[in-house]
Structure 1
């Protein structure tokens, strides 16, 4: 156990040192994995690292990753954002909270298109912040609804981070996508309910209600948004219905997005190349992190760290709830300094054996983990959504963090709900399996 303790301390120290020095996450993971093998095992490091990099780079499940990213890039460069604001505002303008609900619903739609929290927050924020500020909506609610709802990009399928977790934990990506639907919709309801109640309580700060718009006008305003929504529903529905694998559905999504972009007049040679290159950069970054994380996982497996730590935790006889609470605090702390994909690949080799030993369903835990990472996206000092909103609004990080706090607490409430009622996450996968 002494060697395990030393290995654990060296592992943590090297990761903190390399990441703190500003080294790329992927390079840091590879360097730490090689160091662990060299220092604590007699395994042939060179051949093991080479074979692990190769084996982890051609996983079939990973092929859906660049396709979903490319689909989001295509639709992101279309006229979708302006159509979304016009279409949604006519439906929610008369509700308590008014156009603030456009932030929440718009982020929900954009989440299903991009699969990225930062892109979701940035796209909706650039469009809605000037409009809401111009109409006199309270800045705290404008910023808070964007900060909270921007995290939906991680939970609502097709989620990039769910694909990464599915590959890392060797779980069905289709089941993870399905498991995220009910919690994602419930989170939208929680956000809208809080926004409506807050708006009523702060009525003197709210602008007057929007003018009444007849049903025909509202339907016409939604018309330009429907094709993109229909594409997302078809892509996700084909996975849920068993008609296509996630990779096949992603390929269909790319073709559909190109067709919609061409019909909408936003597809050009420049936008096509720009979208492809952006998707390639993002996909390569994520794939490299996954491959080098596999090297670190092999290294800690040879050191016997996961089994020893899992045995140590089992010896403490923690209840599953207490284990989840401890892991939750750890993930939130890491989320103050790292982004979500890095957290998953850094912790999976140690955390997943503990979770399995406690008898916790790994699909359910994937949703639990994604919600935790969503909450970490809006916690300082390195909450990525906070930085996105700082760039859009010009407000300080502390101001944005205060506005985001109620939505952070709603994410914690969602964690409690899926823990007390696990069928919220596992019901649909079990029904469709």
Structure 2
């Protein structure tokens, strides 16, 4: 690899640029040299590092990675690529997999993540996102894959419980996760749901082992005492015990269902003021305004908001629509203008600029949308209480629409919509009668 020497006292002292008429110009293309390398411009330095990283590869991985090499050399933000090539463990991992002679696969990256600990898992995740963004690897549901990999790690750590953990995950946890994924995109919360249940099962089995007991010998006393000595997440053991009893692995053991307190909303005037602020206050960041408006108007979870793409937007009769599930929603004028601005002014820096993306809220990792954590903190910082705002929005919507209409509109289960209806205590007799009269008269009513 070429020597990338730094500036010393304003002059180049060695390397291919020594004696170059412009000490701060790249000798390859004449562009301004990079403050990172000192000699070459960012783009030429990227080409140099790629040559060093991916030289003399076997034929199959070399052919597979050729589009990646070309895309990185033509990246809109070469400095981001240069930093990744120079400092990232995921770049070194790519080299290690490629020199083996095999084409890179999801299975290879999964094996690296499982075998090498949490730090390697982050590196492989970063590399995977980069390869998927450039179509080197096919896209897959990473949250669903995470649900599959976690039990494998737990079985590797506790092989003496494998005879119970493997069938529990195979016949109880995974089928439900896959069924949900066919209807709505997986989220981090769904991954946490599965991991918590598996972790609770492992912890209880470990507790029984410390007492010298097998699961079939456990009594209700053991369950109650274990639940009372730990955090509330232990109540997720209920799912495992129900499955075990049905399969004859244990007695019928009970775990109380934890009651959920009703979420508290905000008063209507404050809710309206916050919505108007999101729609019209130019001093707020654009992404905060857009996300806050979607929470305050449609009661959406942030995990659903950050996963929205330009494909969720459409146009009907000259009006912008938003599709949260199957039914396009005609947006009011101020929100339509806000989302149009969001599409036009999405940040184009780092990997956002380098990888193709249709996210309304793009993130910093290759091809990824923004994480919910930073966005939640930004909303809270600007005075938008997420849970209370969402509660008030859903109550107001449940007052205006019956569950059969609300559920497909917002992408929620009809049972959830019925729960919100019961909370607001609305009688839908008048609505249904008006709807029936309109249908009999051959007219169509506008739901939104």
TM-score by length of 1: 0.24
Is the helix fraction higher in 1 or 2? Answer: 1
Give the number of the structure with larger relative contact order, counting CA–CA contacts within 8 Å between residues 6 or more apart: 1
Question: Larger radius of gyration, structure 1 or 2?
Answer: 2
